[in-house]
Amino acid sequence: MSELAGKIVLVIGANGSLGSAVARQAAARGATVVLSGRRVAPLERLYDEIEGAGGPQPALYPLNLEGMSPNDAQALGERLQVEFGHLDGVVVAATRLHGLTPLERFEPEEWLRTLQVDLNAPFLLATALLPALRAAPAGRLVYALDQAARSSSAFFGAYGVAQAALRSMLTILAQELSSERVRVHGVVLPAMRGGLRQHIYASDPATDLPTAADLAPAILAALSSAADAPTLIDAS
The pLDDT of residue 39 is above 70: yes
Structural domain includes residue 196: yes
Domain count for the chain, please give it: 1
Phi-psi region of 127 (alpha: psi -120 to 50; beta: other; left: phi over 0): alpha
Structural domain includes residue 110: yes
Structural domain includes residue 186: yes
Distance CA 19, CA 11 (A): 6
User: Which CATH number belongs to the domain containing residue 55 in this structure?
Assistant: 3.40.50.720
At residue 2, the pLDDT reads 83
Distance CA 30, CA 58 (A): 11
Structural domain includes residue 1: no
Distance CA 212, CA 234 (A): 15
At residue 156, the pLDDT reads 83
- DSSP letter at 210 equals P
Residue 121: what residue type?
A
Q: What is the pTM of this model?
A: 0.92
Structural domain includes residue 2: no
At residue 154, the pLDDT reads 80
User: Model confidence over 98-116: pLDDT tens digits?
Assistant: 778 888 888 999 999 999 9
Distance CA 214, CA 229 (A): 21
User: Model confidence over 151-188: pLDDT tens digits?
Assistant: 778 888 899 999 999 999 999 999 999 999 999 999 99
The pLDDT of residue 197 is above 60: no
The pLDDT of residue 202 is above 70: no
For 149, the domain range is 8-234
User: Model confidence over 115-151: pLDDT tens digits?
Assistant: 999 999 999 999 999 999 999 999 999 999 998 777 7
Distance CA 36, CA 145 (A): 18
At residue 68, the pLDDT reads 94
